[in-house]
Amino acid sequence: MRDDRFESTFAPYIVVAAAKLKYASSWTTIATAHVDGPHSTTLCVRLGRLGGGGRHGLEDRPISRFFGGFVRPWERMPLRLDKLVADRFGLSRRVARDAVLCGRVDVAGAACDEPGLEVDPDVELAYVPHRPKARKVETSLVVLYEDRHLLIVDKPAGILTLPTAAREPGTLLERISKYVHVRSGRRPYVGIAHRLDKDTSGALAVALSPRALREMQAIFRTHAIDREYLAVVSGSVVRAEGTIDLPIVDDRGDLRRGVARGEDEGRHAVTHYRVLDRFGDVASLLSCRLETGRTHQIRIHLAAIGHPVIGDKVYRPKHDRPGKARFHRQALHARTLGFEHPFGGGDVYVEANPPADFQDLIDGLSRRRSEYDRLARDRRGR
């Protein structure tokens, strides 16, 4: 019986084997497969001398003899997990891949979400079609949303989104590229639709094709996106909510970005904020929503109204003395991201929980709230 998988897999080896033995000119080579058992097949090269009106001296020789055992029987060669799932459970390749991505396939008793993983063809598989979709994958990334067009991850603080001219290793781009490669088994395309500062954590969207990148860039360019950030700032913000409408320039005079001084300078920038909590006169927890998306916009705007982000060493006024609230980085976290899917997939909305260090800062301020409130009352009573 003809087996296309057999021929496509081993044809190159058969030709090389014949060439190595110098039989190509006077011998014919025919690929054969000897079935030794239900799970074992020996690949052979059938050698026959031409002449006398036909073939004679037909002889099957195991091809492993020519390669020192390098080539294994085709049934025992590793297969991609999604292909094996498709074959084993009668699924299409795409459905099988999605099942693996969603954590609905167990390999040897353990859930696996890597479609490109190579596994033994005889491995124990279980397909659980109604298992709830897994949201967190066991990798260096926390994935908040994923489909074949887009990926939204929870960026940790302390890593660059993209490498600079110094080509730093371990960037978010590098991590995502490895993740996509392992899960898809192909050379990845990763387009960064927007950035977060190195020391800012939270939700960040990337595109998985050039077309998706163009669509996402259009969404950000037209501000058709809902972004909320959490910020812990210095001092007590008096107004419960407000809007900061101040244009931003790339150089405020010291080679750093800042608020424009002239009326016709800078680019339009608007930030809306709402006070979520106050900790005496020491700090406030704010929810910030971007109407525009200028580089460092939230940090610049909050510093401009006298409430710099705690831990921000760039935009905190130089004459400000460090307050009681201290943090090893800027206390800024991108909590939510929402937009209409560019390819008709409905609304996309994700929420990234604050990382442990950010939550510890808030919890510490909450524990000392009574002390801070008392100090604030004492100052006002003087």
Any idea which residues carry the catalytic annotation? 197
3-state secondary structure string, the chain? CCCHHHHHHHHHHHHHHHHHCCCCCCEEEEEEEEEEECCEEEEEEEEEEEECCEEEEEEEEECHHHHCCCCCCHHHCCEEHHHHHHHHHCCCHHHHHHHHHCCCEEECCEECCCCCCEECCCCCEEECCCCCCCCCCCCCCCEEEECCCEEEEEECCCCCCCCCCCCCCCCHHHHHHHHHHHHHCCCCCCEECCCCCCCCEEEEEEECCHHHHHHHHHHHHCCCCEEEEEEEEECCCCCCEEEEECCEECCCCCCCCEECCCCCCCECCEEEEEEEEEECCCEEEEEEEECCCCCCHHHHHHHHCCCCECCCCCCCCCCCCCCCCCCCCCCEEEEEEEEECCCCCCEEEEECCCCHHHHHHHHHHHHCHHHHHHHHHHHHHC
